[in-house]
Amino acid sequence: ADFSAVEYFTPTLHNHPMIYVLAYPIFESGSAERISAFRAKHEPQRAKYVPPHITLVFGVANEHLQSISGLVEVASRQCSIFPVVFDDWISEFDPFEKKHKVLLLCGDGQAKVTSLHNQLYEGSHRSEFSSAHQFRAHMTVATYDKRTDLDQVDVSTVGEFPIEGKLSALELVRFEDGRLTTLKTVPFVA
């Protein structure tokens, strides 16, 4: 099944705890520095909360924590460390956050990322996503209120494509009261 999802890291959207599952790509140091600097400039609020990441479960109610925690354990036991390659980008409007964004799109590794995403939505929280938007393996690196601001972004400063990394763990996190807290880090073991 294909699942849709939207990132919700803006504190004003929710007055209650939200649960996410993230994967932090491990980049070579030069790429990591360029991506972090790019995000600090083009999505400073989000960059303060969370390092560069791929979101696999998007902002679901805290009541689903136990179910999602179990899914994270199972998915991690079935997964080996694998490469992810960001080889393209797109700018688009996120209708849920009502923000304009630049997304780095995952080429190599995309099928495994999508498979993890689908597996992690097999719980009770499945009802919390919109089927109107298909999941796309990506990393958001810029977020703006106005399209004209996004049009001024020079994506080449994020680094030369392809940008290569690897995924080695899943992170179960809670966003509450303007803070992101890691609840569990589960390394891939297969």
pLDDT of residue 49: 86
pLDDT in tens, 26-49: 999 999 999 999 999 999 999 998
pLDDT of residue 14: 47
Over 60: is that where the pLDDT of 12 sits? no
Q: Band the pLDDT of 135: cuts 50, 70, 90.
A: confident
Give the separation between CA 187 and CA 125, rounded to whole angstroms: 23
Give me the helix-helix angle, 110-120 and 65-77, nearest 10°. Answer: 140
Q: Band the pLDDT of 119: cuts 50, 70, 90.
A: very high
Total Cβ atoms within 10 A of residue 51: 14
Over 80: is that where the pLDDT of 137 sits? yes
pLDDT in tens, 64-106: 999 999 999 999 999 999 999 999 999 999 887 899 999 999 9
Over 90: is that where the pLDDT of 151 sits? no
Q: Are 169 and 188 in contact (CB under 8 A)?
A: yes
Query: What is the average pLDDT value for the chain, to the nearest integer?
Result: 88
The pTM for the full model equals 0.88
pLDDT of residue 23: 98
Q: Are 180 and 49 in contact (CB under 8 A)?
A: yes
Classify burial at 82, counting beta carbons within 10 Å of its beta carbon; exposed 0-12, middle 13-18, buried 19 or more: middle
Q: How far is CA 98 from CA 6, 134, 144, 152, 169, in A?
A: 11, 17, 9, 18, 30
Query: Which comes out higher in pLDDT, residue 56 or 124?
Result: 56
